[in-house]
């Protein structure tokens, strides 16, 4: 592959195999909680969750519907803007429905804090949140996801859907960015 890391290196942190095993166990936890649902609405937060949600829904053995929401993000920087706006709303209704919100990373927590409040206003029957990665040491908002794939230290990571300035989303593993 051509160099897709201008000015930085990527060190593997979580292998593709470890991610796959964890995604499978997260799916079992989700199935347990929603075992009685008639149809689970799985909502992916664009764009970082697209790989995770694709793998996760294929492990969930329940009837599911998939929808997407986009919230404003970091832009091209490594810092959170703290101000969260909804850029693209859901296509479907969630009132009275069981909803699983899927996110790539909880960092300061502002994004999920805002998005869960936004979705709760629509009165879903149940709303649970799953994040592949969590950086608890970075938390500013009072937010805790219901399910977490991996807790990681305060490092900037890429891969498995997660980008740095729109690059490296297609890496099959999670790697940390090291400035060269
Ligand atoms: P929060 O609002 O600070 O919790 O930020 C959450 C969002 O910031 C995530 O959905 C990611 O899109 C982005 N983000 C946080 N940490 C990283 C990182 O290490 N690499 C790439 N994006 C990140
Ligand atoms: Mg994101």
Contacts 24+ apart (CB under 8 A), 17-21: 19/55, 19/132, 19/149, 19/160, 19/173, 19/174, 20/55
- Model pTM? 0.95
> For 151-161, how does the pLDDT look when each residue is reduced to its tens digit (9 = 90+)?
999 999 999 99
One DSSP character per residue, 36-65 reads T-S-EEEEEEETTTHHHHHHHHHH--S-EE
19: phi then psi, degrees, rounded to nearest 5: -65, -45
Q: Which ligand is nearest to the CA of 110?
A: 1
Q: What is the pLDDT of residue 83?
A: 81
Contacts 24+ apart (CB under 8 A), 31-36: 31/60, 31/61, 31/62, 33/126, 33/128, 34/62, 34/98, 34/100, 34/126, 34/128, 35/62
Least confident of 56-65, 78-87, 119-128, 134-143: 78-87
Q: What is the pLDDT of residue 166?
A: 94
Cβ 156 under 6 angstroms from ligand 1: yes
Looking at residues 31-39, what average pLDDT do you find? Answer: 97
Nearest CA to ligand 1 atom 15: 107
- For the chain, give every domain's residue range: 16-154
Q: What is the pLDDT of residue 39?
A: 94
| 176/3: higher pLDDT | 176
Class of domain 16-154: alpha beta
Nearest CA to ligand 1 atom 3: 108
Q: What is the pLDDT of residue 82?
A: 73
Q: Which residues surround ligand 2, an ion (CB under 5 A)?
A: 48
The pLDDT-based confidence of 54 (bands split at 50, 70, 90) is very high
Residue 23 Cα to ligand 2 midpoint, Å, equals 18
For residues 65 and 34, the answer to whether their CB atoms sit within 8 Å is no
Catalytic residue among 4, 76, 98, 107: 107
Residue 35 pLDDT greater than 80, yes or no: yes
Nearest CA to ligand 1 atom 5: 107
Cβ 73 under 6 angstroms from ligand 1: yes
Q: What is the pLDDT of residue 76?
A: 64
> For 64-106, how does the pLDDT look when each residue is reduced to its tens digit (9 = 90+)?
999 999 998 656 667 666 788 999 999 999 999 999 999 999 9
- To the nearest whole number, what is the mean pLDDT of the chain? 94
The pLDDT-based confidence of 2 (bands split at 50, 70, 90) is low
Q: What is the pLDDT of residue 58?
A: 98
Residue 141 Cα to ligand 2 midpoint, Å, equals 15
Q: What is the pLDDT of residue 51?
A: 98
Ligand 1 pocket: which of 44, 47, 74 to mutate (most atoms within 8 A of CB): 74
Assess whether 107 carries a catalytic annotation.
yes
Residue 130 Cα to ligand 1 midpoint, Å, equals 14
Tell me the sheet residues that pair with 42.
66, 100
């Amino acid at each position: 592959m051509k160099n897709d890391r201008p000015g930085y290196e990527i060190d593997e942190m979580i292998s593709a195999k470890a991610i796959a095993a964890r995604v499978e166990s997260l799916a079992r936890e989700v199935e347990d909680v929603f075992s009685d649902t008639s149809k689970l609405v799985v909502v992916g937060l664009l764009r970082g969750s697209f790989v995770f949600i694709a793998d996760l829904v294929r492990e969930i053995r329940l009837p599911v519907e998939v929808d997407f929401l986009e919230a404003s993000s970091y832009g091209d920087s490594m810092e959170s803007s703290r101000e969260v706006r909804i850029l693209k709303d859901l296509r479907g209704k969630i009132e009275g429905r069981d909803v699983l919100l899927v996110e790539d990373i909880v960092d300061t927590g502002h994004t999920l804090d805002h998005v869960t409040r936004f979705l709760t206003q629509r009165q879903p029957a149940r709303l649970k949140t799953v994040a592949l990665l969590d950086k608890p040491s970075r938390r500013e908002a009072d937010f805790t996801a219901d399910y977490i794939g991996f807790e990681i230290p305060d490092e900037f990571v890429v891969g498995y859907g997660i980008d740095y300035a729109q690059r490296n989303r297609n890496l099959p593993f999670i790697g940390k960015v090291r400035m060269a």
